Structure formats: structure tokens, C-alpha cells
């Protein structure tokens, strides 16, 4: 019933409801399904090209077929170790990312609002920023007492700079006239900060969060591979998704590598989607129709 | 009706009992390494309480600078500005400014914007609530209370801003070309709306414009400003009966006379400004951008 209403709203003219479930979806969702299906088809045909074409297509011809991957996945779904990998990676992303938000956003605000602090901090910041998170791995291993903390620290680095820079540009995009209006109405500094600066900064901080959580997933994998997967070294146990991929490679189970890769894709997608949903809720005023959808 | 001449003369001595706004020999220069630029020089005038004062002058003359000085967002390089007998030392709720473009808080609804002032001061009680409701109704915004500024039309935004300023019961309303950028129909509507409202409320108004018709329609008295560095060139009393209507003013003989008089002076000032050359103007624009209009943004410009 809900789907039907959505479909009607999306179509210029009302059509009779289709008996096929897929056709009852709204247009963007139908297109997404088509896109997934097309990608799978190309992949399946490409990876089996040796059999039906007589020669292997470059790249794709050497990849395990989706059917093999699905088969491997179906075994893994019942394996608690696989799910422990999910949990381990999520935990690390959650810790590293939260730490980056809690430190990066305030630092960005202070840097944007206080010129002397900006002058002192920015040069060092700019010097450190180009250093890739992976270059921090050895230092992180030496510096932090546990391997878990080392991985968290590398993830933190991955998200930190983007968050700071977005908070800076957010704070600078606040219209100074709004602050003047508030001052002329006798608002306190505190009130100006909480009612004007913070809401004004919020949209770009949220964008920064959305971008940087994506980066944390890129980083978590590499960090886990290099750090060797935490304290538990058993195959597909608590090592995290990144270690899971590495371990599958070492163990020669190629379909599992792909399972790990897609799992990370899904995890990243979910975390970004969750942040987007929060962002849409928090900045309703910024939407073209004020969020009155 | 006091004569303009006596008013200008009396500005010389400080009148602590004067309840309006008083500028005494105000200078404002913006300076940086490559030189100084005087924007306001020797400017003296009074905004009489309960009257509608309109300031008119060529564009780029420094009218917005004067507004920022009176509002207390910036300070004169020399001279004195007094409001209600007290020296202006910063912004205050007795002087509310309406800017050229909308400065509503985008993340607050209409009603949130209107109530902001008293709420920020912790003074939002039943009286303020009643005033907010009355102003919202008066500005025709009842149906739009829960909408965000982005959802309002240009005219509604301006009215919401007026209501927000009025909530603070300012002794002077300062309006810096407030209806600029609205389409001509909406602009006429807003002008009549505001004239109507100010006749009822008998508030002190200081209205800046470059539009002569607007000035004649609204003003009790018009301050004609010189080109930059600006000061008052003449004070013209607009002795047209109220209520006025924009349509009727077109055929009014006295209005046409006043218009001709004002236009002649403005033309002279604009011509002198033009003759002074574009280079100076460019310097000013640069100095203004760097040091004045939005210091925060100017800071951000630097790498």
C-alpha cells in the first residue's frame, strides 16, 4: 500500500498497480536494482569467460564468480567468526571515529574563531595532514600499549583532518550579520555560540562526518591487515573484516576475499546512510522545501 | 515644525537630554598599509524622536558605514554618537537594524526568529508572548509561524525581520535599504505596509535609501548626503499630509517639487563623485571589503 503510493507520486500519470513486486517500487529503487543486477551479470559473465568464450577476459576472468562468492558467503553466514569480524571492525570505526569527532570538531571551531590559535596550530596541522594514515601504522604500534588502540589511533587519523577542516569552513560560513543582529538584541556570547554558531556550523560538520566515516572504513582494513588482526589470530575470528580479507588471501580461499570486500562495502554504505539520515533530520531548515516532504 | 537650519546649528553643543540619536562631528576612516580612506567626514545630524528620518545619497557614499556606526557595530574615528542621551559604545536593543538582505536565522522558524530577542535575554514572559503574537498577526505571518525562512517569500522574510526587530521595542528602527531586491510590486506593498505601521506606532525611524520616490513617500525629513567622504548636505522637510499613498504622490504638485529639488542635489553629488575618478572608488571598495563590511569573512580570505 505504501509502495503503491510512492509509485504513484513518482509517476506523472497513475498506472494500475503491477502484479510484479519489483515494478511496484519507486523509480529510483527500481534503477538501483537494475544497477546491482547488471553489475552481477557482467561480473558473472566475465569471471566465467574462460568457459564460454574460450579465453579469459583480462582482470575479470581471474576473479571468483559471484556464484562462488555467494556460496562461500552462505557458509560464512552461519559462522560466528565472520560476524565477530564485523563486530570487531565496527567497534574500531566507532572508537576511532568518535574520538576524531569529539576532538576534531571543537579544534576546528576554536581554530576558525580564534585568530592567534589558528596562526599557531595551522602550520603544524598542514604539515601533518598529507601524511597518510598508513604511514602512522608503525608509530601507532610503537606508541600505543595495545594493538587495539594502535588500530583505533590509525582510524582516528583517517577521519580527523577532514572533520577539522569541515568544522573550520562551517564556522567561517556563518553570516557575520546574524551575529551582529543577535548582539544588537542583547544576546550573550554563550547564546550566540549555542543558538547561532553551532547550528550554522552543523551542516558542514555533518558533511565532514559523512565523508570521514567513509575514510575510516578505508583505513580500518589496511590497519587491520598490517597490525595482524588484533590479539586473536585464529582465522576468521576476532581480527576484523580487514584481517578477514588478508587471512583469506593467505589461506588461498579467494571467494572469501570478495566476501570480505563486499562486507566492507556494505558496512561503509550503512554507516554513511545512517549519518545522512541523521543529517537530513538535523538540518531540515536547510532542505529546499524546509523538510516538509 | 522646527526649521532645518536651527536643528543643524544646535548640533554643535551636546544635549544630554536629547532622546533621539545625535551625531556630532563624526569622522570615519578605514586605513591599512597602503593608505587611509575617509568615508565619513565632519558628519553631524539628529534623528528626532517620533519622526521618520530618511537618509538619501549617491551609492557608495558611506551611508551603510553611518548605519553601522549608529548601530554600534563599528566606532567613529573622531566625533561622538549619542543615542537617548548616552554615548554609543556598542550594539544595543534600543537601536535595531534591518539590513539590505535578509538576516533571519535560517535554522529558526518564523516564530523562533520573532521570539529570539527576548528569549536570548531571558525575558520571554507572558507579555513578550502577547507582543510576539500581535506582531506576527500584524505582519500577516500567522499561517507561516512554523516555517523556516527558506520557505517564505521575499516580502514575508522582510516582515518577519521587522517583527523580530520590533520585539525588542527599540527606540529607533534603523533600516538600510530594506526593500531593495524585492520585485517592484512587493516593494510598493512593503513600503505602504511600513508607512502604515510607523504612522500607527509613532516610532522613531531612520531609513536609508537611494530612491527619491521612496524617500518622499516615507519621510518627515530627508537628510541629503554628499558623496564620499560623506556628511549632510541639506535637510529637507517633507511637509506632505499623511496618510500618503504612492499612487497619489505621482500627481501631487508639492511632491514633484520636492522630488526635483532632491534629484538636483543628488545628481550634483553623483557627478562630483564620478569626476573624482574610478580609482578612488576601487580603493574604497577594497578597503571596505577588507576592514569593514564583514571582518570575519575578510579574515577567512587570508590563507
A187 at interface of B, judged by CB pairs closer than 8 A: yes
The verdict on residue A14 lying in a domain is: no
pLDDT of residue A13: 55
CATH (domain of A124) = 1.10.3720.10
A199 at interface of B, judged by CB pairs closer than 8 A: yes
Q: Which of A172, A182, A285 sits opposite B120 (nearest CB)?
A: A182
Find the helix packing angle between A198-227 and A254-282, rounded to 10°.
170
Minimal-distance CA residue of chain A relative to B112: A195
Residues of chain B with pLDDT under 70: 1-17, 32-34, 275, 277-303
Contact, A151 vs A93, CB < 8 A?
no
- Across the beta sheet with B86-87, the strand order is B35-47, B21-32, B78-83, B86-87
pLDDT of residue B17: 66
Alpha-carbon distance B53 to nearest alpha carbon in chain A (angstroms): 21
**DSSP letters along B88-130, please?**
--S--TTEEEE-SS----TTS-HHHHHHHHHHHTT--SHHHHH
The verdict on residue A257 lying in a domain is: yes
pLDDT of residue B266: 82
The verdict on residue A254 lying in a domain is: yes
Q: Which residue has the cell 511632491?
A: B255
Q: Which of B106, B164, B297 sits opposite A176 (nearest CB)?
A: B297
A290 at interface of B, judged by CB pairs closer than 8 A: yes
- Check CB contact under 8 Å for A200 and B92: no
Chosen from B68, B97, B98, B103 to mutate, greatest number of chain A CBs within 10 A: B103
Domain count, chain A: 1
The verdict on residue A34 lying in a domain is: no
Residues in chain B within 8 Å Cβ distance of A289: 151
Instruction: Residue A278: name the closest of A222, A210, A176, A228 by CA.
Output: A210
The verdict on residue A17 lying in a domain is: no
Distances (CA, A) of A55 to A40, A69, A116: 20, 21, 65
H-assigned helices in B139-211: 154-166, 184-201
**A49-100: pLDDT as tens digits:** 878 877 777 777 788 888 889 999 998 888 888 888 899 899 999 999 999 9
Contact, A170 vs A202, CB < 8 A?
yes
Distances (CA, A) of A75 to A69, A72, A112: 10, 5, 52
Distances (CA, A) of A134 to A50, A139, A218, A220, A238: 37, 10, 10, 10, 21
CA–CA separation, B270 vs A77, rounded Å? 80
pLDDT of residue B185: 87
- For residue A136, give its domain range: 68-283
The verdict on residue A187 lying in a domain is: yes
pLDDT profile of chain A (293 residues), mean per 10: 46 61 79 91 87 79 87 88 89 94 95 92 94 89 87 93 95 90 92 91 92 91 68 53 86 89 92 90 68 39
Chosen from B128, B146, B148 to mutate, greatest number of chain A CBs within 10 A: B148
The verdict on residue A75 lying in a domain is: yes
Please give the sequence-ordered ranges of beta strands (E in DSSP) within B132-278, or none if there are none.
172-176, 204-209, 221-225, 232-237
The verdict on residue A55 lying in a domain is: no
Residues in chain B within 8 Å Cβ distance of A180: 71, 73, 91, 97, 103
pLDDT of residue A287: 61
Residues in chain B within 8 Å Cβ distance of A109: none
Residues in chain A within 8 Å Cβ distance of B175: none
A286 at interface of B, judged by CB pairs closer than 8 A: yes
Amino acid at each position: 500500500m505504501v509502495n503503491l503510493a510512492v509509485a504513484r507520486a513518482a509517476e506523472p500519470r497513475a498506472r494500475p498497480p503491477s502484479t510484479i513486486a519489483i515494478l511496484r517500487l519507486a523509480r529510483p529503487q527500481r534503477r538501483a536494482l537494475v544497477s546491482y543486477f547488471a553489475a552481477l551479470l557482467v561480473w558473472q559473465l566475465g569471471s566465467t569467460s574462460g568457459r564460454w568464450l574460450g579465453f579469459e577476459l583480462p582482470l575479470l576472468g581471474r576473479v571468483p564468480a559471484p556464484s562462488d562468492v555467494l556460496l562461500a558467503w552462505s557458509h560464512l553466514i552461519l559462522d560466528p567468526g565472520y560476524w565477530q569480524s564485523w563486530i570487531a571492525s565496527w567497534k574500531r570505526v566507532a572508537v576511532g571515529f568518535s574520538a576524531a569527532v569529539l576532538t576534531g570538531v571543537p579544534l576546528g571551531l576554536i581554530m576558525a574563531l580564534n585568530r592567534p590559535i589558528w596562526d599557531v596550530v595551522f602550520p603544524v596541522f598542514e604539515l601533518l595532514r598529507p601524511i597518510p594514515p598508513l604511514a602512522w601504522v608503525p608509530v601507532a604500534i610503537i606508541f600505543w600499549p595495545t594493538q587495539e588502540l594502535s588500530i583505533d589511533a590509525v582510524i582516528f587519523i583517517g577521519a580527523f583532518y577532514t572533520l577539522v577542516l569541515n568544522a573550520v569552513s562551517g564556522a567561517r560560513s556563518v553570516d557575520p550579520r546574524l551575529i551582529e543582529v543577535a548582539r544588537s538584541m542583547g544576546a550573550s556570547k554563550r547564546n550566540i555560540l549555542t543558538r547561532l554558531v553551532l547550528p550554522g556550523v552543523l551542516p558542514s560538520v555533518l558533511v565532514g562526518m559523512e565523508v570521514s566515516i567513509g575514510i575510516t572504513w578505508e583505513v580500518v582494513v589496511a590497519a587491520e591487515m598490517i597490525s595482524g588482526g588484533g590479539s586473536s589470530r585464529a582465522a576468521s575470528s576476532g581480527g576484523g573484516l580487514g584481517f578477514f580479507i588478508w587471512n583469506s588471501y593467505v589461506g588461498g580461499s579467494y571467494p572469501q576475499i570478495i566476501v570480505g570486500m563486499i562486507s566492507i562495502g556494505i558496512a561503509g554504505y550503512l554507516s554513511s546512510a545512517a549519518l545522512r539520515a541523521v543529517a537530513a533530520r538535523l538540518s531540515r531548515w536547510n532542505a529546499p522545501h524546509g523538510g516538509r516532504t | 515644525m522646527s526649521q532645518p537650519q536651527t536643528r543643524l546649528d544646535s548640533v554643535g553643543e551636546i544635549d544630554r537630554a536629547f532622546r533621539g540619536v545625535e551625531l556630532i562631528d563624526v569622522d570615519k576612516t578605514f586605513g591599512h598599509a597602503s593608505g587611509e580612506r575617509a568615508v565619513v567626514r565632519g558628519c553631524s545630524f539628529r534623528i528626532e524622536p517620533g519622526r521618520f528620518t530618511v537618509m538619501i545619497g549617491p551609492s557608495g557614499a558611506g551611508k551603510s558605514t553611518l548605519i553601522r556606526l549608529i548601530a554600534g557595530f563599528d566606532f567613529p574615528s573622531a566625533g561622538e554618537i549619542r543615542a537617548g542621551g548616552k554615548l554609543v559604545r556598542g550594539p544595543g536593543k534600543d537601536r535595531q537594524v534591518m539590513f539590505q538582505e535578509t538576516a533571519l536565522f535560517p535554522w529558526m522558524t518564523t516564530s523562533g526568529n520573532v521570539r529570539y530577542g527576548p528569549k536570548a535575554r531571558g525575558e520571554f514572559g507572558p507579555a513578550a508572548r502577547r507582543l510576539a503574537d500581535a506582531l506576527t498577526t500584524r505582519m500577516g505571518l500567522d499561517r507561516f509561524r512554523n516555517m523556516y525562512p527558506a520557505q517564505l517569500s521575499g516580502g514575508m522574510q522582510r516582515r518577519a525581520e521587522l517583527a523580530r526587530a520590533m520585539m525588542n521595542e527599540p527606540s529607533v528602527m534603523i533600516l538600510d535599504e530594506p526593500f531593495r531586491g524585492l520585485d517592484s510590486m512587493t516593494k510598493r506593498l512593503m513600503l505602504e505596509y511600513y508607512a502604515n505601521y510607523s504612522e500607527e506606532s509613532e516610532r522613531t525611524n531612520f531609513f536609508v535609501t537611494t530612491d527619491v520616490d521612496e524617500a518622499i513617500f516615507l519621510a518627515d525629513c530627508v537628510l541629503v548626503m554628499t558623496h564620499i567622504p560623506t556628511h549632510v548636505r541639506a535637510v529637507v522637510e517633507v511637509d506632505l499630509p499623511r496618510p500618503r499613498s504612492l499612487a497619489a504622490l505621482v500627481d501631487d504638485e508639492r511632491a514633484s517639487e520636492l522630488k526635483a529639488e532632491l534629484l538636483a542635489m543628488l545628481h550634483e553629488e553623483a557627478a562630483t563623485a564620478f569626476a573624482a575618478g574610478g580609482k578612488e572608488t576601487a580603493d574604497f571598495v577594497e578597503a571596505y571589503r577588507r576592514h569593514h563590511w564583514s571582518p570575519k569573512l575578510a579574515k577567512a580570505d587570508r590563507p
